[in-house]
Amino acid sequence: MDHNLVVRNKMTERYLLDELDPQEREQFEEHFFVCEECALDVRAGAELVVQSRAILAETPEPAFAAARRPKPVWEWLRWFRPAFAIPVMAALLVVVGYQNLVTVPKLQSELRQPQVLPWASINVGTWGAGGPAISVRQGQGFLLFVRIPSDGSYSRYIAELYRPDGRVESTITIPANLQQDQWPVQIPAGDRAAGSYTLRVRGINAAGESEEVGKASFELQVQK
């Protein structure tokens, strides 16, 4: 995906707001894994969303919001009065300022510095329970060396990373290459719970048909 197209279509913002369709989301994720600028935008934007939600959650609710009876429309417009809007906007401006002056420069520095990341090698198609363990600091990324059995019938693979609670965290497209059966996959930094993660891989043939190739699990240990 072309970077200028990403900027022109505001795909970073739409990705964070979950407004991309599945195909656009897959293409954008492929792009930001290799684009330093977009990876930085996604990480900074995700942190801004988290901090903004925390601030809004701490904003005291007016007394009328607790009543169970339906409210006339004009009552809900009180939220836009200065008594409520100004403190919330001021708090968000503080967050944005902190992002621009502290968080973003820190992330830029980290992206430009060589890093030794925790890693593990996993074999897709191993159906048994358990797997290797990876120990990371809270918020740290890591590498997976994913080994997929060679099969000339597929043009690419789709790998889905599942969290311990069964939800899909991310989807990764892996090109098929008969000369290669192992791919390094970088999992970006983020706040993750410790537990057993699973990578499920599907093969996609030239006709676009999908077939599950296998899965592999690993144990993520998070240091506080």
Q: What is the mean pLDDT of the chain?
A: 76
**What is the SS3 string spanning 5-48?**
HHHHCCHHHHHHCCCCCHHHHHHHHHHHCCCHHHHHHHHHHHHH
Q: What are the extents of the domains in the chain?
A: 35-112, 119-223
In angstroms, what CA-CA distances link 26 with 6, 21, 30, 177? 13, 9, 6, 20
Pairing between β-strand 182-187 and β-strand 133-137 as defined by DSSP bridges: unpaired
For the entire predicted model, the pTM comes to 0.53
For residues 159 and 173, what is the distance between their CA atoms, to the nearest angstrom?
A: 6
Would you identify the CATH topology of the domain 119-223?
A: Immunoglobulin-like (2.60.40)
- Using a pLDDT cut of 70, give the percent of the chain over it: 65
Express each pLDDT in 123-137 by its tens digit: 997 555 568 999 999
- pLDDT score, position 65: 46
